[in-house]
Chain A
Amino acid sequence: MPGEGASLARLGMLTRPIAGVQPADAVARDEAFAVLYERQFGRVYAYLRYRLGDELLAEDMSAEVFARAWGKLRNLDDPDRATAWLFATARNLLADHYRGRPGCLSLSALPAGRHPATDSPEAQLLTEESLSFVSHCLTGLSEREREIVGLRFVAGLRNREIALAFGLSEGNVAKIIHRALAKVRARLREEYPDG
């Protein structure tokens, strides 16, 4: 999509080609990568924030997902597969994180790495409230149900993309989501018995 590439170039976010050194296809790849990033960073970040409950950690891990995607870009022409790949990678990083083996190279010490969060305290508070409300509603769901509900309703993935990322069938994903929502509903009904 040339439009998105151009807007990124205006922001100075594209790696600038060095005349005569960088082959033309490298520039094209930079652009394709920037387009992929533009389309996907929001949902990857939102999903990781939902799973980790921590904005800075989610930023770190999102960057790691996209840094890894760079090496695989050749295989990411198909948007469905690209989405599935990004979220499968996010899943692996999360699993590593929860196993206490951080596979993320933290660059917080580098000047080019992270700047202090600039989000307003109000926005952060709202996010925290949403996180705690959602996690309260999802109490009692299995790990996999939480993952899939998050992919569906926070990252906004379609069932087909979730199925690809998990190696499940589409029907299976729909069934898991349905069952998970039934659990949520039962739980809410206990809390608000008579309306």
Chain B
Amino acid sequence: MADGDDRENNRTFDDELERALRGEELAAPSVATAEELATARLLASQLARLREVAPGVRERIWASTQARRTVRARTTLWDHLSRSGLAAGANLLVAAVVILLALQGALPWVQELPRLLRPGERGPVNRIAFVSERDGNAEIYAIEPDGSGLTRLTHHPAFDGDPAWSPDGQRIAFRSQRDGNNEIYVMNADGTGVRRLTFHPADDLRPAWSPDGQQIAFVSNRDGDSGVYVMDADGSDVRRLADSPAPDPALAWAYGR
């Protein structure tokens, strides 16, 4: 088919599509074949169907929009103030009082309220830390719950293991033999800023964070038998828990005490 015919055909197809979309009668087939026109008509009718919206969708999207607006108004006080002026000023005053009381500990329940995450914000410990020998020896890796974003966090020929996320998701406590025997270390969630917390010729293992992130418990045989020890998150003030029995394989803090 010659170029000129092609252009003519394309224009016809174009027109048919447009016309069919507008619901007008199709022109008599001129250059394009009847089959092509029928296909164009079919495509046009399918496209038109995609423009139809089922009943109920309008209300559902509206409700969801309003819910999002409400959440955002709560999370962005300054924005809110700038948009609706005086009315929000009153809200801000109330919010400021609540925040001040909460900071002073007068309203302990405020801190217990679950907080919605804002778009793009990552919740604490949304990643999984694990130990693998995939690169030759035991190293700590992190991965998203959906299996994406695999990252190697430790890079040391010695054994690294027992990873434990801090409650705020910012740090990971772990065990390493990099200084000759098992000691507790801490690093940032991205593997930077490694710091050694314990310094003892005996083995220190299985770190576990306190719920407030201020302390780390671990297992050690520094006094001859295995026991549970607690230290501040910076490694200071190590003490053995009285009568701690030989521990289970993993340590965890119990809430409510």
Residues of A with C-beta under 8 A to B60: 59, 114-115
Contact residues of B between 26 and 72, Cβ < 8 Å to A = 33-36, 39-40, 42-44, 46-47, 49-72
A9 to B44, CA, bound (A): 36
- Count of chain A to chain B residue pairs whose CB atoms are closer than 8 Å in the complex: 154
Residues of A with C-beta under 8 A to B47: 130, 134, 153-154
Q: How would you classify the secondary structure of chain B's contact residues: helix, strand, loop or mixed?
A: helix
Q: Mark A98-113, 1 if CB is under 8 A from B, else 0.
A: 0011011101001011
Q: Mark A110-147, 1 if CB is under 8 A from B, else 0.
A: 10111101111001001101110110010000000000
A166 to B27, CA, bound (A): 33
Any A CB within 8 A of the CB of B180: no
Closest Cβ of chain B to A5, distance in Å, is 14
- Contact residue range for chain B? 35 or more
Task: Give A185's nearest chain B residue, CB to CB.
Answer: B13
Any B CB within 8 A of the CB of A2: no
Any B CB within 8 A of the CB of A1: no
Closest Cβ of chain B to A151, distance in Å, is 12
Any A CB within 8 A of the CB of B188: no
A120 to B65, CA, bound (A): 23
Closest Cβ of chain A to B181, distance in Å, is 42
Residues of A with C-beta under 8 A to B49: 126-127, 130
Residues of B with C-beta under 8 A to A87: none
* Contact A137-B43, Cβ < 8 Å, known A46-B50, A107-B67: yes
Asked whether A66 lies within 8 Å of B61 as measured between CB atoms, the reply is yes
Asked whether B64 lies within 8 Å of A103 as measured between CB atoms, the reply is no
Closest Cβ of chain B to A48, distance in Å, is 10
Q: How would you classify the secondary structure of chain A's contact residues: helix, strand, loop or mixed?
A: helix
Q: Mark A1-41, 1 if CB is under 8 A from B, else 0.
A: 00000000001010100000111001000000000010001
Any B CB within 8 A of the CB of A95: no
Asked whether A105 lies within 8 Å of B117 as measured between CB atoms, the reply is yes
Q: Which of B39, B43, B59, B68 contacts A105 (CB 8 A)?
A: B68
Closest Cβ of chain B to A152, distance in Å, is 9
* Contact A37-B86, Cβ < 8 Å, known A134-B43, A195-B36: no
Closest Cβ of chain B to A114, distance in Å, is 6
Interface size counted on chain A using CB atoms at 8 A: 64
Asked whether B51 lies within 8 Å of A43 as measured between CB atoms, the reply is yes
Any A CB within 8 A of the CB of B133: no
A42 to B43, CA, bound (A): 20
Asked whether A154 lies within 8 Å of B69 as measured between CB atoms, the reply is no
Asked whether B50 lies within 8 Å of A49 as measured between CB atoms, the reply is yes
Asked whether B56 lies within 8 Å of A118 as measured between CB atoms, the reply is yes
Pick the 9 closest A-B CB pairs, nearest first.
Answer: A195-B33, A63-B64, A67-B68, A195-B35, A112-B67, A66-B65, A119-B54, A130-B46, A63-B65
Q: List 7 A-B contacts (CB under 8 A).
A: A45-B57, A45-B61, A49-B50, A71-B83, A105-B68, A112-B63, A134-B43
